[in-house]
Structure 1
Amino acid sequence: MTQARATIFLAGQHGLYHCTNRCVRRAWLCGIDPDTKQNYEHRKTRVEARIQQLGAIFAVGIYGYAVMSNHLHVVLSVEASAAEKWSKEEVVERWLQLYPARTPEQMNEKRVGLLGNPDAIVRCRNRLMDLSQQRGQPLNRASEFETRRPKPHHALNDL
């Protein structure tokens, strides 16, 4: 039976973790969906790129991953010692990569606001070395949008 990440992983605890993400409601991550016959192979490179991007932002080492047709596997470790060495500017830049503003002006406002708030920098640093935060990031927003399936006509009649 699955368990919540928060009950398995304790923040700051070092170890190797094998994590899986599975698509739900018969959604297809990559490859050819046997129901719709649509090819989603183009998603695989985007998912792999997102895994690498998140690995570069968070203090999490990625030791391996496999993107399968309807799920993925990732082997991770928390690199807390690396995060402790980051300057406050580096913490803020990593945080802004994860949560960018819409305009350059808003981005600069967020940067200045975070740099002027030591408590916020501590919270950001802690979240950037939290495995639950990293695993909770959407891997591919485009694929989430693509796989939304319309309700079958008979289901609409039941409303």
Structure 2
Amino acid sequence: MPTPRSQLISLDDTPWYHCVSRCVRRAWLCGFDEETGTDYGYRREWIVERLELLSRVFSIEIAAFAVMSNHHHVVLRVDAESPERWSIEEVIQRWHRVYNGTFLSQKFATGQALSKDEMSVLKRDAAVWKERLICVSWFMRALNEPIARAANQEDNCTGKFFESRFKSQALLDEKAVLAAMVYVDLNPIRAQMAETPEDSEFTSIKARIDQLINNANTAFLAPFNGDEKDAVTSGVPYHLLEYIDLVDWTGRAVREDKRGSIAIKLPPVLQRLGLDSADWLILATEVESLFGNWVGSPSQINEVSYHVGQRWICTSEGSRRFF
């Protein structure tokens, strides 16, 4: 029986999550279909455009993403504090950008007067919507459902496009966040779809590099604040150039034909985290398979198990080795 999502996401423990959605039967529904000779690669752009919209609606930052031919990855940071300052007008305005809302919310949005009882009902609805706007499950639902409908309409068929449940990994500390982000950004290189980060289409790393070179718009991505504070509470705690250097270094290590060109000196980030090259390369390329739903140290995972009401959570070999 699948674990309830409420026991997999705990904002009291971390706002950071790595989420993966796969196409049904892992079919190439966003790539090249060899059976029909049809290229569905343009659907990957649909997902990126949807991410851009949702970043402006939800109080959830997108730190990294990669849209592949049969699945997509996102690394998300939930900002649970900002909505506390939202007015009911802002909540409704945000909700209406993704959903129709209710008769009362539409009436309110168009400036029509509401009775006292109607306003009371609307406030209850808005409170529910505000909670959903910091919910990872609702974010993934709002991301995947329109893509599935559009693809099914285009294919003149019905049924599921994505698997019903997305995979989530809670990232419990700075090391986990960094490993997940690099893992996501290097997906096309590991899949041999690209040779370098700047060639990796439909990824956050390419978007960030394009921003530096061509002044491309990356406002929908979480900023790098260059701070040394704990990533769990203060955003991406690195300088952008420092992160790009790490992704490039790791990407060359992943490619067999480039291993001879890897610099002996470790990137500064790894030196600060106390990781050697061998451990880092395993962590950054296998974080999804090495860990279950929680990425962190055994002590962190044990603490989480208490908070989510589980008697215990089995710690993985990766947790014991790398944290």
* TM-score (structure 1 length as normaliser): 0.77
Indicate the RMSD between aligned Cα atoms, in angstroms: 2.9
1:146 aligned residue: 154
C-alpha distance 82-144 of structure 1, shift in aligned 2 (>3 A):
farther
2:272 aligned residue: none
2:106 aligned residue: 108
Judge which range, 52-61 or 135-144, deviates more: 135-144
CA distance in 1, matches of 2:39, 2:81: 42
CA distance in 2, matches of 1:125, 1:12: 17
Judge which range, 91-100 or 8-17, deviates more: 8-17
Identity %: 34
Offset, 1:42: 1.4
Greater RCO (Cα-Cα under 8 Å, separation 6 or more): 1
Q: Which ranges of structure 1 fall in alignment gaps of 5 or more residues?
A: 151-159
1:18 aligned residue: 18
Q: Give the secondary structure class of the aligned counterpart of 1:146.
A: helix
User: Per-residue displacement from partner, 1:69-116 (whole Å, max 9, x unpaired)?
Assistant: 000000001111111121110000011111137xxx997326367x82
Q: Which ranges of structure 2 fall in alignment gaps of 5 or more residues?
A: 159-323
Matches within 5 A, 1:68-87: 68-87=68-87
The equivalent position to 2:136 in structure 1, one of 112, 131, 136, is 131
* TM-score (structure 2 length as normaliser): 0.40
Judge which range, 78-87 or 21-30, deviates more: 21-30
Structure (1 or 2) with the larger CA radius of gyration: 2
User: Per-residue displacement from partner, 1:116-155 (whole Å, max 9, x unpaired)?
Assistant: 22211211111111111111222513123335669xxxxx
More helix by share: 2
**Is this contact kept in 2: 1:12–1:130, CA < 8 A?**
no
User: Per-residue displacement from partner, 1:32-88 (whole Å, max 9, x unpaired)?
Assistant: 112221111111111100011112111111001000000000000111111112111
2:263 aligned residue: none
